[in-house]
Amino acid sequence: MRELIILGLETSCDETAAAVVRRNANGAGQILSNIVHSQLADHAPYGGVVPEIAARAHVQRLDGLIAKAMVEAGIGFDRLDGVAATAGPGLLGGLLVAMMEGKAIALARDIPFIAVNHLEGHALTPRLLGACEFPYLLLLISGGHTQFQLVEGVGKYTRLGTTIDDALGEAFDKVAKLLGLPYPGGPQVEAAALKGNAKRFAFPRPLKGRDDCNFSFSGLKTAVREVVKGMPILSSQDVADVAASFEAAIADTMADRLAHAFAAFRARHNLTRPIFVVAGGVAANKKLRGVFEVECAKAGFTLSVPPFHLCTDNAAMVAWAGAERLALGLSDELDFAARPRWPLDSISEPVYGHGRLGAKA
């Protein structure tokens, strides 16, 4: 197997990113450059991502980021073995920016184009950072996704559980908005919770005790809203107590869901010391990190959490997923279409809920 150098492009939501990675002949990975431009300041006044603003910013920034990534990597385009771009899931206008740029580079240099599933980028990140043999258990927790995946190889994923309504990151953002905290809400709720009394409010623990690996956060969010509505004036201590009580409910629920996911993994693979990977922006939450450490120790799993800058959206994970796929001889035609909805595991049946009766997750 030969060495591969891949340019990766990411524009699926509100980060514009370009990166270059090397996959050595022995399968080890190395990040040569990883440039990310965040659009948080552009979207903060609106309390969330505005697709049109995001797409316009990607168009304005991507060329410059690619140039910077190539200079930092110390290589020319003639050294590239392939170019990978996020093709989904995500905002269609954003996805098209990286895909068109990636296809143009692939065509001009006559090198393979690899359309990457953004979720696969998260799933394979641990293998970029060090030895991480298949199979392993993945928990993806972000603003758009909350799911357990059994990762058995490149392109080999089985969903063990998912949210039936809100994603965990979305729930944090909505609770932050209820409390009058700025966007993005997750870090704000976490900071407020440090000063709060987690026992003041008895919020529900959704699906706790149920014999599956799914999540639900809509009812918990509603419970928070009802408490907040009952307080005409929210003091800073009220905000802190609600945040702490909300975070405690999430932590208790997560511990319960982890136990079921660990059992589901062991039913399929009885390994001596299996690996549990956590990826996505919410992986940065310190209280949840504590839950992961405790539950892994109890269940005999090894915890693997990439550094924060590789948990949030970035192009290094896209480039690496492209390298892993190209190493297996997998690439895509230049007419590959963007996929705003692209499940990592397309075999599992849809989960009903997703915030309203009868809708599909």
257: its two tokens: 């869901």
Which pLDDT value is given to residue 352?
Answer: 59
Could you read off the pLDDT of 81-112 as tens digits, one per residue? 999 999 999 999 999 999 999 999 999 999 99
Which pLDDT value is given to residue 19?
Answer: 98
Superfamily (CATH) of domain 136-308: ATPase, nucleotide binding domain (3.30.420.40)
Task: Evaluate if residue 8 carries a pLDDT over 60.
Answer: yes
Superfamily (CATH) of domain 4-130+312-327: ATPase, nucleotide binding domain (3.30.420.40)
Which pLDDT value is given to residue 353?
Answer: 53
> What is the average pLDDT score of the chain?
93
Which pLDDT value is given to residue 355?
Answer: 37
Could you read off the pLDDT of 128-143 as tens digits, one per residue? 999 899 999 999 998 8
Could you read off the pLDDT of 39-89 as tens digits, one per residue? 878 888 887 889 899 999 999 999 999 999 999 999 999 999 999 999 999
CB 19 within 8 A of CB 33: yes
Please give the single-letter amino acid code of residue 321: A
Which pLDDT value is given to residue 345?
Answer: 87
pTM of the predicted protein model: 0.91
DSSP assignment, residue 189? H
CB 105 within 8 A of CB 322: no
The pairs formed by 60-67 with CB atoms below 8 angstroms and a separation of 24 or more are: 61/16, 61/37, 62/9, 62/11, 62/16, 62/18, 62/97, 62/98, 62/101, 63/101, 65/16, 65/17, 65/18, 65/35, 65/37, 66/7, 66/9, 66/18, 66/101
Could you read off the pLDDT of 303-318 as tens digits, one per residue? 999 998 998 899 999 9
Q: Where do the structural domains in the chain lie, given as residue ranges?
A: 4-130+312-327, 136-308
Which pLDDT value is given to residue 112?
Answer: 98
Length of the chain: 361
Phi/psi for 54 (5° steps) reads -60, -45
> How far is it, in rounded angstroms, from Cα 158 to Cα 190?
31
Query: 4-130+312-327 and 136-308 share one CATH topology?
Result: yes
Burial classification of residue 131, based on how many CB atoms lie within 10 Å of its CB (0-12 exposed, 13-18 middle, 19 or more buried): exposed
Q: Which of 162-166, 187-191, 351-355 has the lowest mean pLDDT?
A: 351-355
Alpha helices, DSSP H only, in 82-232?
Answer: 92-109, 118-129, 168-178, 185-193, 218-229
CB 62 within 8 A of CB 37: no
b/e map 293-308, b = 16+ CB within 10 Å: eebbeebebeebbbee
b/e map 243-260, b = 16+ CB within 10 Å: bbbbbbbbbebbbbbbeb
Helix, strand, or coil (residue 325): helix
Confidence of residue 220 (pLDDT cuts 50, 70, 90): very high
Task: Evaluate if residue 146 carries a pLDDT over 90.
Answer: yes
The pairs formed by 220-228 with CB atoms below 8 angstroms and a separation of 24 or more are: 220/171, 220/246, 220/249, 220/250, 220/253, 221/166, 221/171, 221/174, 221/175, 224/175, 224/178, 225/178, 227/201, 227/203, 228/178, 228/179
Nearest to 36 by CA among 13, 10, 63: 10
Task: Evaluate if residue 356 carries a pLDDT over 50.
Answer: no
